[in-house]
Amino acid sequence: MSTIERRRPASAKKPFQWTEPLQRGLEWMIGAGTSYSFRRRRFVSLISVGLSLTVMSAIVAYVDAMMWHRGVMTGWTLMACLVMLTTIGVRRRVPGLRLGTMSTWTQVHIYTGLFSIGMFLLHTPTIWRGRFIADGYFEGSLSTLFWFVSGSGIYGLIASRRLPVRLSTVGEQIRFDQIQWRRHQIADLATEEISELKSFAAITVLGEFHENYLNRFFQRPPTLAYLVFPNSVRRRRMMAGLLELNRYLDEEGKIASGRLAGLVRHRDDLDYQYALQLRLRMWVWVHATASIALLVMAIIHGILALRFLGT
């Protein structure tokens, strides 16, 4: 190594050091060096949606320059997207047909929905004037319904990723249609636990607490507020009450109190699973119903637009 090379500062040897973190971040984002993973598929799909919207924007600009009706081209494209988006419901109801996996259909549904949002921005000229809702009662209702369906779809995309993770922290996974049966089973076990007590102190203390508080907790369904915002307030209240009673209980009563506390935890876990699973089911129903209504209104809008085209 020459004297000049030894005197050269370390920063001069690597003039573009900032490119290495950028390159590593890009490789992580596209999943370079790995198989065709979900991360790489997502990156390619987003790029495809972006390129498609860029091409459509250029076509719309050309149509405007030729003084043609941009609404016809963008409208038919939107209609085709809406039809494709609603077919996932048909695919879900006929799982026996060999039409590809449900995972593939879901990915196509997601990115077609993103493309549809871009096409709607190109189709509705009032958006470029700062108004996201079109003029007129029918067109305004159609725009509102489109944004509602798009918003519910984005919510469902986030919820379908996060809610299963929250459900996995509970423990045993219970099917939605079996939760009510499990609730009755827990209530019966609590009643049986009280009826098997033999000591007078345990019967008096735990029996009264069960009649005034635990029985209502086990028998009643969760409130609407709990279904909207699941929390552990009821669970902590019941557990604190049982813990407070231990000073009045003998050994048999303390053992029974511990079993009742376990049933309280189990019931609260069931209610938590019920709230999250119900949220997913309600989202599917609302999103699907609104999508069908959107498609019907879009067909009516298309017929009216073609009827009065050029007038």
SS3 18: coil
Measured between its terminal Cα atoms, the distance across the chain in Å is 83
pLDDT at 5: 47
* pLDDT of amino acid 244: 92
Low-confidence ranges of the chain (pLDDT < 50): 1, 4-5, 11-13, 15
Torsion of CA 137, 139, 140, 141, to 10 degrees: 80
DSSP 62-114: HHHHTT--HHHHHHHHHHHHHHHHHHHHHHHH-TTS-S--HHHHHHHHHHHHH
Distance CA 300, CA 83 (A): 14
pLDDT at 224: 92
**Both structure tokens of 255:** 């053992």
Query: CA-to-CA distance for 22 and 14, rounded, in angstroms?
Result: 15
Q: How far apart are CA 269 and CA 273, in angstroms?
A: 6
pLDDT at 134: 74
According to the model, what pLDDT value does residue 308 have? 76
116 neighbors 84 (Cβ within 8 angstroms): no
Report the predicted TM-score, pTM, of the whole model to 2 decimal places. 0.76
Domain positions in the chain are: 37-170+282-307, 176-281
